[in-house]
Amino acid sequence: TGLRQHVPSGEGLLLFDSVEDAVTGAGAIRSQYRMHSRAARDLAVAHFDSAVVLRRLIDRLGASRGLAA
């Protein structure tokens, strides 16, 4: 889907191409759950928070001129 090009992965978000990779990733999450859960939260805030997403959308539409940051 191209996600690798847009969002960091490896901690908090594990991507996979095969069932074997998915099983390995699930094991990694289970063995370091606290670290992965914190990283997932940080990633969600940094990339998917509405303020972040809407700012990018407004900027792409060219409508950000004159708006407060």
Q: Can you give the pLDDT at residue 64?
A: 63
Report the percent of the chain where pLDDT is more than 90: 36
Residue 33 has what pLDDT?
95
DSSP 3-state assignment of 10?
Answer: coil
Question: Do residues 13 and 7 make contact, with C-beta atoms less than 8 angstroms apart?
Answer: yes
SS3 49: coil
- Summarize pLDDT for 15-41 with one digit per residue, the tens: 888 999 999 999 999 999 999 999 999
pLDDT average, residue stretch 41-48: 89
pTM for this predicted structure: 0.66
Amino acid at 63: A
pLDDT value at residue 21: 92
Query: How many other CB atoms are found less than 10 A from the CB of residue 10?
Result: 11
